[in-house]
Amino acid sequence: MAERRLKFWGWGYEGEGATAGEREAIKRFYGGMFALDAFPDDVPRAGDYALAKPRVKPPKSLAAICADDAHTRLVHALGKSFPDAVRVFDRKIPHAPDVVVFPRNEKEVAAAMDWAASAKAALVPFGGGSSVVGGVEPAVGGKYRAAITLSTVKLDKVMAIDKTSRAARIQGGIRTPAMEEALGKSGVTLRHFPQSFQMATLGGMIATRSGGHFATLYTHIDDFVESVRMVTPAGVMESRRLPGSGAGPSPDRLAIGSEGSLGIITEAWMRLQDKPRFRAGAAVSFRDFFGAAEAVRALAQSGLNPANCRLVDANECKVNGVNDGSAHLLVLGFESAHVDVAAAMARALEIVHDHGGTGSNSEGAVTAWRNAFIRMPYFREVITPWGVINDTFETAITWDRFPAFHRAIMAATEGAIEAATGRKGLVTCRFTHVYPDGPAPYYSFHAKGERRALMKQWMQIKKAASDAVIAGGGTITHHHAVGRDHMKWYERQRPKLFGSALAAAKSVLDPAGVMNPGVIVR
């Protein structure tokens, strides 16, 4: 069955988007915050864009699985970041792929790599297309004659399920909803649900070190990878299926997080979970944000391992209609396939109440937050034409440095908003994941920009926030990946010698340098 057409100008598929009620709520919020009096609607069409003619043609052996029509090229020209949205609504697509290839097997993946090398073209992998860091834009520089995008979505099968070991062999292009549906028929689940769940592919999640459902214990896709098979321009690299190994540096770790710079992840054996049968949820309010953070630290170090442990600050609660902004909220949840979680929840509530939390039975607040979280990606296409700058960045830091780090990030971002736009904005924070040694804070910022200067204003804010993250000792990304947008800060974060070693590995696996140039390895 053919897949529904993706929107090139927003999130999801054609026909999907913010509801009328959601649009009215967004109008009230931003209209009140920034005194907006105009809310233009804008729905781009493929004919609005002046795309250059393709500079290369596929060989006859690949022509049947290639496309160069305007809609397909536009879908694969950008990801889903704020600057991507600005350029879409400005009708400026500076780096559309010349051709998009849809391989159905590894032989065709390898053939596409050979074609790219012979044509002196870059090859940019594309899975779900949900990158918010410039990871899929074919901005490859003048060294290349053309840019070819390789979509993995035809590699979409669950190939085998090993219920004895509780693992499955799965192709890299399968979208997560289809994967979960297939696994569910056998009573198992990957239970890795990033915000991009609707669009994400397994290979994309592995390549970008996706952060998923669990707030503690199992946080990254890394935790579920048993082995990886990756097709590179130099050949196929496949690791051995093992529950664990101490045999030298892990080949899986080279593939996980490689972001298409070394090859295409075509298959992986993934560790599965039994479907949860026991669940408990609660929402606890706090008057003091740092007191709430201390409660989260105590939970993270308690060994209880809650599945959900998200601290949402008061401003973010208000933005998303969770409460009136008078309290910070800790969304807490436990789930298990095997044991009742009531005792764990009871102990967790004791801990958070000892740290000043109040309340424990706020199902409405939990539901409101969950719904807002799922629907957020649809709102960018509504507010960008209004000149509203709304973006996010996330990081991780150890507990001992968190208070000073958080204050510095907030001050830098708030100051940059005012400097860039001439007016105050709003910066909010939530914890997406927590570890015994530190949290992963996720910041959102809202500002009223000038419609013709949005890119410049956004970059000024983004740079100030990213500089503050690195200066404070945090990571430039906890789970959004590096892409092209974060490369400058990633190079400051990683050891210089490691960067050289990674470049050497790329030269072996990708000798012609065709794979996703400018990402992970320049």
Residue listed under structure tokens 């950008």: 78
Where among 274, 309, 343 does a domain terminate? 274
Sign (positive/negative) of CA torsion 367, 369, 374, 376? positive
Q: Report how far apart, in Å, the C-alpha atoms of 316 and of each of 86, 234, 311, 427, 446 are.
A: 23, 47, 10, 8, 11
Count of C-beta atoms within a 10 Å radius of residue 233: 21
Q: 286 phi and psi, to 5 degrees?
A: -135, 145
Q: 27 phi and psi, to 5 degrees?
A: -60, -45
Residue-range definition of the domain harbouring residue 117: 20-151
- In terms of domains, do 192 and 110 share one? no
Does some domain include residue 498? no
- In terms of domains, do 322 and 428 share one? yes
- In terms of domains, do 93 and 192 share one? no
Q: 299 phi and psi, to 5 degrees?
A: -65, -45
Sign (positive/negative) of CA torsion 283, 374, 519, 442? negative
- In terms of domains, do 433 and 296 share one? yes
pLDDT value for 367: 77
CATH code of residue 260: 3.30.465.10
- In terms of domains, do 249 and 282 share one? no
CATH code of residue 399: 3.40.462.40
Which DSSP state fits 475?
-
Does some domain include residue 143? yes
Percent of residues, the chain, with pLDDT higher than 90: 95
- In terms of domains, do 324 and 235 share one? no
- In terms of domains, do 331 and 449 share one? yes
Q: What total of structural domains would you count in the chain?
A: 3
Where among 151, 167, 183 does a domain terminate? 151
- In terms of domains, do 341 and 458 share one? yes
Where among 274, 307, 327 does a domain terminate? 274
- In terms of domains, do 114 and 163 share one? no
Does some domain include residue 175? yes
Reported pTM: 0.96
Which whole number is the average pLDDT over 19-38? 94
pLDDT band at 517 (very low <50, low <70, confident <90, very high): very high
Q: Is the pLDDT of residue 192 over 50?
A: yes
153 HSE (CA, 13 A, CB side): 23
Does some domain include residue 518? no
- In terms of domains, do 82 and 130 share one? yes
- In terms of domains, do 305 and 439 share one? yes
Quote the CA–CA distance of 86 and 419 in Å, as a whole number: 20
Q: Is the pLDDT of residue 58 over 70?
A: yes
User: What's the pLDDT tens digit per position in 412-440?
Assistant: 999 999 999 999 999 999 999 999 999 99
User: Residue 50's Cα: distance from chain center in Å?
Assistant: 29
Does some domain include residue 424? yes
